[in-house]
Amino acid sequence: MHLICPQCKTDGITGGWSFITGQYRCANCGYVGSFVIEMDDENYHKFQEDQDDQKVEGKGD
């Protein structure tokens, strides 16, 4: 299971204290909150491909 940050869309969510309090923290952008996106391996790989495609398309603008 992958936990995705809703703010920066990375797999940077860390646990520890957060699981006890219901708060999650993103190591990449510093997001702290109770909402995260959960994905299984198959959907996570599709999500990564979509994110990579969007980055490539964004460079042409």
How would you write the pLDDT of the chain (61 residues) with one tens digit per residue? 899 999 999 998 887 554 567 788 899 999 988 899 999 999 989 988 888 888 777 664 4
- Confidence at residue 23, expressed as pLDDT on a 0 to 100 scale: 85
- Confidence at residue 20, expressed as pLDDT on a 0 to 100 scale: 62
Residue 26: give the domain boundaries. 2-59
* 37 within 8 A of 6, measured Cβ to Cβ: yes
How many domains does the chain fold into? Answer: 1
Alpha carbons 28 and 47: distance in angstroms, whole number: 17
First to last CA, the chain: 34
